[in-house]
Every structure is written in C-alpha cells, then in structure tokens.
C-alpha cells in the first residue's frame, strides 16, 4: 500500500478555535479523522502530523525520504515566508500537493506569495477539509499511488 504524509504547519492545531469564520468550526482532531477516513476509502496509508516549528517541519520532510510516496502539505503561515520548506521539498523530490483551507487568493496581499508552490505538483485552496481529500486524490491520480 502506498504511503502519504500529510503535514500541517503552525496554528492548525487550533482549528475549531482559531478564526472559525475563516477556518470553520471543526477541530484539528476532526481533520485528522477526515484524512484517515478518506485515505482508507482510496486504499492508501496516510500519516498526519502538525508542528508549529519551521525547523521541525523541515526535519519531517527530510525524514519522509524513502518512507513516503507522496506529501500533502498545508504549511500555514510558513507558506508565505519559508524558503527552508521549499528547499526541503525540492531536496526530497517526493511528489507534493499544497493545500489551504481558506481561499488565500481572496485574502491579504502578504498571503499571495507561496514559496512552497514551486516544489508542488498542484495547489488546492478554499475547499476546507475537502481540499485534503482532493490532494490525496490528486496524488493517487498523478503519481499512480493506487497501483502498487
Ligand atoms: C492557511 C492560510 C495561511 O495564509 C494561514 O497563515 C494559515 C492557514 C489555510 O489553510 O487557509 O495558517 O494555510
């Protein structure tokens, strides 16, 4: 069974509490359950992690090398600042999909830049939890993750 690593960045642990008008009322635990349920439906294994620390996220990406077939990443605020996450994704060369719960295109100017995007095969935004399902589907389709 193919393996997907879902990586969540800072403040996503506060889903349900943080700005519910933007991010919704469901919690981070709900998101983890949602991802596992969708992965099961698609016949892939998904590990889900979250960190508030940029360095830890870099380490998580590095450790995925040789262990995971695809990465789904919501780098949260580090999307807009982190060359380190871009470099880590490029270094490991694992197919990656960028996800955002909110439609960042319709938000502040400082959210219009994504450093990680250059290392991702696709970006999904504004679909809430469903964006993570779309990302898993995209990896299954683009990279043939269901086949082996
Ligand atoms: C986010 C969008 C980012 O701009 C923001 O900093 C987040 C969450 C999203 O999922 O919509 O923390 O990545």
At 63-103, the pLDDT tens digits run 999 999 999 999 999 999 999 999 999 999 999 999 999 99
Q: Considering its fold, how many domains does the chain have in total? A: 1
Q: Per residue in 121-136, pLDDT tens?
A: 999 999 999 999 999 9
Q: What is the CATH number of the domain that holds 93?
A: 3.40.50.9100
Q: Residue 13: is its pLDDT beyond 90?
A: yes
Among 23, 28, 68, 115, which one carries the catalytic annotation? 23
Ligand 1 atom closest to Cα of residue 99: 10
Ligand 1 atom closest to Cα of residue 77: 6
Any domain includes 136: yes
Q: Residue 10 belongs to what domain range?
A: 3-142
Is 38 a known active-site residue? no
Q: Per residue in 109-120, pLDDT tens?
A: 999 999 999 999
Share of the chain above pLDDT 90, in %: 95
Which pLDDT belongs to residue 123? 98
| Range 126-132 contact pairs with CB under 8 angstroms and sequence separation of 24 or more | 126/100, 126/101, 126/102, 127/101, 128/24, 128/101, 129/24, 129/26, 129/30, 129/31, 129/34, 129/101, 131/99, 131/100, 131/101, 132/6, 132/31, 132/34, 132/35, 132/38, 132/72, 132/74, 132/99
């Amino acid at each position: 069974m193919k393996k997907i690593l879902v990586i969540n960045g800072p403040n996503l642990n506060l889903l349900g509490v943080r700005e519910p008008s933007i991010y919704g009322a469901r919690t981070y635990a709900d998101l983890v359950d949602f991802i596992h349920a969708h992965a099961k439906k698609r016949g892939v294994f998904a590990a889900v992690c979250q960190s508030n620390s940029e360095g830890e996220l870099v380490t998580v990406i590095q450790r995925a090398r040789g262990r995971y077939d695809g990465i789904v990443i919501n780098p949260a605020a580090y999307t807009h600042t982190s060359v380190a996450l871009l470099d880590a994704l490029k270094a490991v060369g694992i197919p990656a999909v960028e996800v955002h719960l909110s439609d960042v295109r319709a938000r502040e100017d400082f959210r219009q830049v994504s450093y990680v995007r250059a290392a991702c095969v696709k970006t999904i935004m504004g679909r809430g939890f469903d964006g993570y399902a779309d990302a898993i589907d995209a990896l299954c389709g683009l990279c043939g993750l269901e086949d082996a």
